[in-house]
Structure 1
């Protein structure tokens, strides 16, 4: 552990009491080694302790305790190991119970009787064979999902990214027919991603048109079906399932409402039903809120550089925002994921700006890899 970094933090925080310093050192060392040092976008030679010292120093002395208390008591960090558990739990805790209920209905038995009933277990296997799993981004970690379920899901049932061309569609159809001539079409499709905070990227209605990943997938399926005709491997009126390993309550509620609206509005809808599931549902109280987090909200406003919004204005405009003080879609999350920090988290955690006419320079605690600016 970097003792120089710890002493620097003690200096910055003015921990003159040896007992306070020792207690905080122990906490910092524990959290750095167990979680925070694993953040993938720390620069070479720099880990949590060094970044925390630099981050705290940007605040005026009177504001540093508020910032430190936020990190100690409000920050939520999802580690690589925790995300892997969420991925590994997807099949046994989300897919299996749902398919068992479907199989029980087909066999005319109770769900708990499926494994002990030949007709029920065969129905379950048939439903599983007719299921396609599609990753929506790198974050879907399809490689981990596939390895965790190598004895359950075949290679031909998994597509790592959503951009599927005619050749791949044809190959998927060929493979499903090779496994069982009677299983000619996929009847269940899972779209999988790692995290959603607002649901905006997945589906939104703006400028009198539908946008987002669901609209793109629906259009892609419609075009491929029209082009490939009988060779298209997905059944008409298939069941579509949207699964995120981690979701906020805000995103879940938004997805339920927007998919309901889309179902009613889309004349070209390719799927028959749609469901929304998640591995971990973050509570509504996670986000910073007035009355509970007033001191930290004040820091978000005081140390905000509006140049951040101007740089990301095209992306932020999709959520109809006028600033980014509370993050994308004003989600105000105190959240960090091991592989990147969501832009829905408060920018004081992730933003890096030079400062100038629009506000002070912003220094990140967990630097974000930005896809939008």
Structure 2
């Protein structure tokens, strides 16, 4: 039975490869050369995309995707996938998550403990007192997941025995009973005066930095605003039972971040410190597990005018974005897009023009020819290569 299943999958893959060769109008020599790359990349990476539908994996999706382009544009579309697209796989994301505590949190804590004890960071673990202070400071850290992408389950498993289950929260909205429980467990371990000194807000990816905190019409919006509101309401309701220290240190960590987002977040978090009424946090630190290079976006770093200074090698890809675009996509996401000052969605949210796919979903900051699915009401029908789950519409 197992052999029959494998044979069936091989036949499906062979059929898909033959269809790709037909769609691309390849001769036998070209097809043979491309088959090796397609088999390798589909089996090693792309077949793992979580939103492929039953019976459809990368090769089948690629056939359908390529067919939407006119024959003269298919080579550019295929070249984009082969040369420009970046795909972060499950295994790669897991390594980034596993490195979060040892490579981001631990160095910070070592420096903090060393400053308290008046020693060098590398001397913290030399004495029993230093090691104890480090573990206590680590226990006073609270880790909060901002979305499903924060992969709190993976974070917990990767740090079993290092982090307490009662210092990791998988959701943004924490109810008062949970706040009380977190504080009770912390005080039970470290004493009646113990409070969380550091709070890590964790998410999978940021491209523009605009959705984390923004002030349209002067009112705060975004994930930081929601967490801040929740914390303020809980502090008012719970009083002495609220487990966060006054002026705790806020850490904003994304597993993957663009260079553009890092710069934007610095300014937006500083703005939040000024505009939020009596913010619950004090200092704020912004970190990432992997920073994507500034040259990653198609043609430009994502300026307001996404057609400025287009690299010659990227001109065909920009052409695809303009020709194979349905403005109905913008109308579906209009409210969301206008907050970023956009007039269309040719190059993705905030005109980021990313060629990026994450294994669990494709960011809307990526160019829509990768992920959009429309009927062509106001332009060209769009078929996705990696279908996106979109919470905005």
Determine if the TM-score, normalized by the shorter chain, exceeds 0.5.
yes
Q: 1:251 aligns with which of 261, 267, 273?
A: 261
In structure 1, the partner of 2:369 is 348
Q: Deviations over 1:249-272 (max 9, x none)?
A: 111111001111221232321101
In structure 2, the partner of 1:359 is 379
Q: Distance in 2 between matches of 1:198 and 1:186?
A: 30
Q: TM-score, normalised by structure 1?
A: 0.97
Q: Deviations over 1:217-264 (max 9, x none)?
A: 112111111111111110001000000000111111110011112212
Q: 1:322 aligns with which of 338, 343, 351?
A: 343
Secondary structure of the corresponding residue to residue 216 of structure 1: helix
Q: TM-score, normalised by structure 2?
A: 0.93
In structure 2, the partner of 1:14 is 25
Segment of structure 1 superposing worse, 110-119 or 227-236: 110-119
1:334 corresponds to 2:355: yes
Q: Distance in 1 between matches of 2:242 and 2:379?
A: 54
Secondary structure of the corresponding residue to residue 204 of structure 1: coil
The unaligned stretches of length 5 or more in structure 1 are: none
- Pairwise CA distance, 1:204: 1.3
Are 2:220 and 2:276, in contact at CA under 8 Å, matched by a contact in 1?
no
In structure 2, the partner of 1:306 is 327
Q: Distance in 2 between matches of 1:372 and 1:221?
A: 26
Q: Aligned ranges for residues 1-373 of structure 1 at < 5 Å? A: 1=10, 2-16=13-27, 18-181=28-191, 184-289=194-299, 290-291=310-311, 292-356=313-377, 358-373=378-393
Secondary structure of the corresponding residue to residue 304 of structure 1: coil
CA RMSD of aligned residues (A): 1.1
Secondary structure of the corresponding residue to residue 59 of structure 2: helix
Q: Distance in 2 between matches of 1:210 and 1:253?
A: 19
Q: Distance in 1 between matches of 2:90 and 2:390?
A: 19
- Pairwise CA distance, 1:183: 5.3
Q: Distance in 2 between matches of 1:155 and 1:8?
A: 50
The unaligned stretches of length 5 or more in structure 2 are: 1-9, 300-309
Secondary structure of the corresponding residue to residue 207 of structure 1: helix
Secondary structure of the corresponding residue to residue 171 of structure 2: coil
In structure 1, the partner of 2:304 is none
Q: Distance in 1 between matches of 2:242 and 2:107?
A: 28
- Detail structure 1 runs of 4+ shifted over 2 Å in the superposition: 264-267
- Pairwise CA distance, 1:208: 2.0
Are 2:345 and 2:368, in contact at CA under 8 Å, matched by a contact in 1?
yes
Are 1:6 and 1:49, in contact at CA under 8 Å, matched by a contact in 2?
yes
- Pairwise CA distance, 1:146: 0.7
Q: Distance in 1 between matches of 2:283 and 2:355?
A: 34
Are 1:99 and 1:128, in contact at CA under 8 Å, matched by a contact in 2?
yes
- Pairwise CA distance, 1:72: 0.1
Are 2:109 and 2:138, in contact at CA under 8 Å, matched by a contact in 1?
yes
Segment of structure 1 superposing worse, 318-327 or 117-126: 117-126
Q: Distance in 1 between matches of 2:229 and 2:50?
A: 35
Q: Deviations over 1:304-336 (max 9, x none)?
A: 000111111122222121110000111100000
